[in-house]
Amino acid sequence: MKKNSKPPKNEKPRSQPWNNAWKAVPILILALSVIIHYYLLKEDNIHITTQLNATYDFVIVGAGSAGCVLANRLTENGQFSVLLLEAGGNDMGNYIYDIPGYTDKAVRTHADWGYHTEPQKHAYKAYKKEISFWPRGRTLGGTSTINSLVYHRGGRGDYDKWAELGAKGWDYDSVLPYFLKSESFQSPSFRDSKYHNTNGPLKITETAFTRVADIFLNGGKELGYKIHDCNGNDGDQEGFCRLQTFTGDGLRSSTARSFLIPASKRENLHISINSHATKIHFEGKSATGVSFVRGGLKFTVNARKEVIISSGAVGSPQLLMLSGVGPKKDMDKLKIPLVADLPVGKNLQDHMMFPAMIHVNESISGSDWVYGFWSQLKYSLFRSGPLSFAGMREAAAYFRTERSASDISPDVQYQLHSIDIKYEKRFSFLDFSKPKAMTEGDIKGNGQLFTIGIMAPQHPKSVGEIRLRSADPFDYPIIDPHYLEDPYDMGCFIRGIRKLQDLVATKSFQSVQARIVQIKHEDCQSKDQDADKHWECLVRHYALTNYHPTSTCKMGARDDKTAVVDPDLRVIGIKGLRVVDASIMPFVTAANTNAPVIMIAEKAADAILNAIK
Ligand SMILES: Cc1cc2nc3c(=O)[nH]c(=O)nc-3n(C[C@H](O)[C@H](O)[C@H](O)COP(=O)(O)OP(=O)(O)OC[C@H]3O[C@@H](n4cnc5c(N)ncnc54)[C@H](O)[C@@H]3O)c2cc1C
Ligand SMILES: *[C@@H]1O[C@H](CO)[C@@H](O)[C@H](O)[C@H]1NC(C)=O
Ligand SMILES: *[C@@H]1O[C@H](CO)[C@@H](O)[C@H](O)[C@H]1NC(C)=O
């Protein structure tokens, strides 16, 4: 630290210096704890290489949720050399990404690609130009370094259906061991459950801090749902649960922290950051290497065995198409020589969320103290307290709002966020804190707000696509999710809202006079403010992405015309090239996507190592 070298000013001597001295104590403690904290975080870091070899056994493009897992598993036995390329930098030790309570501040930073969608015809009516902002991680750990930390695996229905549709070997019983392989469950609950493991590299902690969580769970019980482990129960998610989160020892369990720190000192792994891949090279129908730009210079490296693309649901289809793997029509238009005519970028799916604000008459949420002085101090000294939790995400619920034969999974998820929505950066443009957006009198008195995010539908029928904007690898691609285009999706939202009205009417919620805040928009003027049509208007205005884009390089049987990769994640018709990340999901899981992506990478690593034996 720099010493203050300024000479003391000619101040008048104070008569009673000790009267004011105590005021400095908290500041001193805070300063001290910040320094201690800084050194603690500095300890664990990732060893970055600047050296590059001409050839590696495997070249992995993208050090995100999936890429970090692969880099670890493929170098574990010491037999293979691996290069891990990442377009972003290394943000380990940066408090915004490390401290779970700051999770909502991690988007719109240098570690975020900050994509935007095309204007949406059927959604995003309240947003500027009807465009959705799309954060994606650009740093070691990828999106697992900037996401909201919710650990949900999805259930039996999803994976059994994947297998049935042609993803042989991906049924629930086959994927469960790979969820377990990663996990190190930290909390006392469910430790003996066969659905959890305590000795993997990925620390998972159960959370719940405020009375709001109890009110939420008890309300669920009154409605007849069980309170259970949403990741257990033979893969049946339906019910209410405390949230399991990607946190451990008070820190974010990004895949960079969990998988790269232990692997980065291995001799057989090189990690190259600020390295933007621009092209996959082929000889005939075999992938041979990758070109990338680092510090303004272009490098090309060769892969002896395989090139593995783990650049995420946006980055992977983009890089494949830039390299000539994509729809022939589009490749021709951009004059990119065709290597394989495949439906890359099609089948884009995403979850949407409608933020229902709940008003209660007592100060029971985290709004008043999560970011307060004592919370900061407690975290700095002990790495515990409210900031060690996932930004007040505390509980969740899964429902089947409609029963039919095709109901393989719950169709709606709620996520309880026990804090006023105004603390979330992603909603800042809505500015709900201004009374204009609300009914008069809604936030009068001593009351408080918290949010229940309605995530519906879990299996959307609206399907979008990603296309190249140009042949320039630094141009962002065209992202068009077609949000709320299919009427099924809106119906599901309405049922999710009706169910929430039931929940808020329970004795548990009424013990704090809970009610759903009526959001206003000048376009939504129905006489009956509770009519389906009125809610539909609000959903089309305010529902937004829940950040789960998937399925743009869909997995399926080798003869499936809609598939890009086979069940071993090999690009169909090409040798030595796999895609391993969120883009291979046949359809989006009825759950948040980070845990499934980590499972996908664990399973792929096994498949790759087995194929080589
Ligand atoms: C704000 C937000 C909140 C979320 N909250 C949750 C949550 O609470 N729970 C949950 O389960 N899921 C959540 N998700 C989703 C989840 O994090 C993602 O589905 C998951 O991280 C995707 O993993 P991936 O490996 O497919 O891609 P990523 O993790 O995005 O990894 C791709 C990596 O490739 C790199 N890359 C891309 N292109 C190139 C290139 N050309 N050259 C080199 N490198 C490249 C990127 O920089 C990135 O590091 C959230 C997402 C966001 C954005
Ligand atoms: C890079 O090359 C050197 C020299 O041939 C070799 O010793 C080393 O193991 C290689 N490292 C990797 C990660 O391939
Ligand atoms: C909130 O409402 C409940 C139930 O009506 C009541 O018992 C309680 O006293 C109220 N709290 C405050 C602070 O008004």
What does the pLDDT look like over 391-435, one tens digit per residue?
A: 889 999 999 998 775 678 999 999 999 988 777 666 655 544 443
Mean pLDDT of the 278-306 span: 98
Q: Ligand 1 centroid vs 576 CA: distance in angstroms?
A: 24
SS3 401: coil
pLDDT for 349: 98
Q: Give 342-355 pLDDT, tens digit per residue.
A: 999 999 999 999 99
The residue assigned the tokens 């749902």 is 225
Taking the CA of 513 as reference, the closest ligand is 3
Annotated binding site for FAD: 143, 147-150
| Token pair for 317 | 């289809």
Q: Ligand 3 centroid vs 511 CA: distance in angstroms?
A: 7
- The DSSP-derived string for 436-502 is GGB-TTTT-TT-EEEEEEEE--SS-S--BEEE-SSS-TTSPPEEE--TT-SHHHHHHHHHHHHHHHH
pLDDT for 391: 82
521 in active site: no
| Contact 581 CB / ligand 1 (< 6 Å) | yes
| Average pLDDT of the residues of the chain | 91
Q: Ligand 3 centroid vs 529 CA: distance in angstroms?
A: 26
Confidence of residue 19 (pLDDT cuts 50, 70, 90): low
Candidate from 57, 60, 84, 267 with most ligand 2 atoms within 8 A of CB, to mutate = 267
| Token pair for 227 | 């309170």
CA distance 364 to 206: 20
Q: Give 141-199 pLDDT, tens digit per residue.
A: 999 999 999 999 999 999 999 999 999 999 999 999 999 999 999 999 998 899 999 99
pLDDT for 41: 59
pLDDT for 367: 80
pLDDT for 27: 75
Closest residue CA from atom 2 of ligand 2? 53
| Contact 361 CB / ligand 3 (< 6 Å) | yes
The residue assigned the tokens 């900037």 is 146
Taking the CA of residue 595 as reference, the ligand 1 atom at the shortest distance is: 11
Taking the CA of residue 361 as reference, the ligand 3 atom at the shortest distance is: 1
At 289, which amino acid appears?
A: G
β-bridge partners, 203:
184
The answer to whether the Cα torsion of 168, 173, 176, 177 is positive or negative is: negative
Q: Ligand 3 centroid vs 360 CA: distance in angstroms?
A: 9
Q: Give 342-393 pLDDT, tens digit per residue.
A: 999 999 999 999 999 999 998 888 887 888 888 988 998 889 999 999 888 9
| Contact 362 CB / ligand 3 (< 6 Å) | yes
Q: Give 533-582 pLDDT, tens digit per residue.
A: 999 999 999 999 999 999 999 999 999 999 999 999 999 999 999 999 99
pLDDT for 406: 61
CA distance 415 to 407: 21
Q: Determine how many CB atoms are found less than 10 A away from the CB of residue 402.
A: 14
Verify cis geometry, omega within 30 degrees of 0, for the bond prior to 119: no
The angle formed by the CA atoms of residues 598, 600 and 602, to the nearest 5 degrees, is 70
CA distance 438 to 80: 59
Enclosing H/E stretch for 355: strand 352-360
| Contact 512 CB / ligand 3 (< 6 Å) | yes
Q: Ligand 2 centroid vs 56 CA: distance in angstroms?
A: 8
- The pTM assigned to this predicted structure is 0.93
Residue 14 pLDDT > 60: no
Q: Given the residues 196, 459, 482, 548, select the one marked as catalytic.
A: 548
Taking the CA of residue 362 as reference, the ligand 3 atom at the shortest distance is: 13
Q: Give 487-534 pLDDT, tens digit per residue.
A: 999 999 999 999 999 999 999 999 999 999 888 888 998 899 999 999
Pairing of strands 251-252, 269-272: unpaired
Residue 11 pLDDT > 50: no
